[in-house]
Every structure is written in C-alpha cells, then in structure tokens.
Amino acid sequence: MFTVTQTSRAWFIDRARQAREERLVQKERERAALEIQAHVRSFLCRRRLQRDIRREIDEFFKTDDSGSNKRSALCIFKIARKLLFLFKIKEDDERLEKLCRSILSSMDAENEPKVWYVSLALSKDLTFLWIKQIKAILWYCCEFLEQLKPEILQDSRLITLYLTMLVTFTDTSTWKILRGKGESLRPAMNHICANIMGHLNQRGFYSVMQGLLSDWVSFSPHNHPVGWCYGKRWY
C-alpha cells in the first residue's frame, strides 16, 4: 500500500513537472512567434517607407529635370536629407548623380540667393545640418570615384561631375553668394571649406585622389585632369 502511494505520488509529481515544462516551451514558442512577427512587420514597414521615400525623391528629380521651375536651396536640402537617410551605393547611385547635378545647377543660378545651395550655410538653424549633409554627400562622391574607370565614357562623365562637386565645396572662389557685399562672408565660408576638407582628409580623400590619378595616368599618360583644380594641387 505504502509503495503504491509513493509510486502514485512520484507519477503525479512527474506529470506536473512535464506539464510545467510544456507550458514553458509553449510560452517560449509564443514569445518567439511574436518576436518574429514583430521583426517581419518592422522589415515590411521599413521597406514600404523606403519605397515611398525613393518614389518621392524620383518624383522630385523628374520634375527638376523638366526645368519648369528652379528649386529652392531648402527644397534640395530636404530631399537630400531623405536620400541620405536610406542611401545605398548600389541602389541609389543614379539618385546621387541627380542630386549632385541639382546642387551644382543651383550654384550656377544668377542673382537668386534662395536657390544657391550654399546659402543654407548662412542660416543659424541649418548651418550645422548643412555642413553635416555636404560632408556626407562629398564623401559618397569620393566612394564612387574609387569605383569609376576613366576609360569608360559614362564613368568619365561621372568622374567630372563628382570632381566638380568636390572642387565647388572645398573652394569658395566660385560661390556667387560671396560677390559684392557678400565678400565680407568669405573668411567664414573659407573656414567652413577648411572644415569640410579636414573631414574628407580624415576619411581618406587623398588616397582616393591618388587612386583616381593612377587610373587616369595608366589610361592616358598625357592627360592629367585631376592635377590642378582652381590652383590647388590635390596629389
């Protein structure tokens, strides 16, 4: 009798333990399922957000290409922030190209301060964000310069584009905003350029230029388009 009672008690305890372990396993499965679902929802949400942002960016440049009206510097700044938020080199290379062309076009505008992209550097609320943005854009230009081949026609055009970006925003000599009364701003703008150049140097700017120059010399030893830029030697 005593033995039967002990056996029943042991069986009951073992069943209770098994049931408890099964409940724990079930809870862990439910937790894992909820976590997986959350990750999937988050992934799909990010994909949807990125798709919507890229569609907005493409629409911006599509309208910009039509030449119907000139974009303000602030509009370009805002669309650039969205592009940099999700930028991927392999997926957004054409978008960066269009952004750079839009920025350079704004810098060529005559007597339209609100159009000049660099004018945002004078805004107290946007100066820091603008400097951060142009640093990011210029470094992406450098990263593309590392990949481009001068012997390929399309690549050579992009090389010219990205080099023009680098020259434009590391030297104030072409900034129309500094003409006339704006001349008094030149020391401050030169300081910003020095800040940008220092950032690029830390990231490996000269190595990029050296590699590009080597490629170009091997391709055409009599041409040195990277050598002198507005009187500055970059190699």
Mean per-residue pLDDT pooled into runs of 10, the chain (235 residues): 63 79 84 82 84 94 72 95 94 96 93 92 94 97 93 92 96 92 92 96 93 76 46 39
Is 34 buried (19+), middle (13-18) or exposed (0-12) by CB count in 10 A?
A: exposed
3-state secondary structure 87-143: CCCCCCHHHHHHHHHHHHHHHHCCCCCCCCHHHHHHCCCCHHHHHHHHHHHHHHHHH
CB atoms inside a 10 Å sphere around CB 4:
8
Q: What are the residues whose beta carbons fall under 8 Å from the beta carbon of 193, sequence distance 6 or more?
A: 169, 170, 171, 172
User: Which residues are CB-contacts of 142 (< 8 A; sequence separation ≥ 6)?
Assistant: 162, 166, 200, 203, 204, 205, 208
Cα dihedral 144→147→150→152 (10° resolution): -100
Look up residue 178 and give its amino acid: L
Question: Residue 6: its pLDDT value, please?
Answer: 63
Residue 85: per-residue pLDDT: 95
Nearest partner of 77 among 132, 37, 139, 148, judged by Cα = 132
Predicted local confidence at residue 232, as pLDDT: 44
Enumerate the H helices of the chain as residue ranges. Answer: 2-66, 73-86, 93-108, 127-147, 153-168, 186-203, 205-219
Specify the pLDDT at position 234: 39
- Looking at residue 231, what is its pLDDT? 42
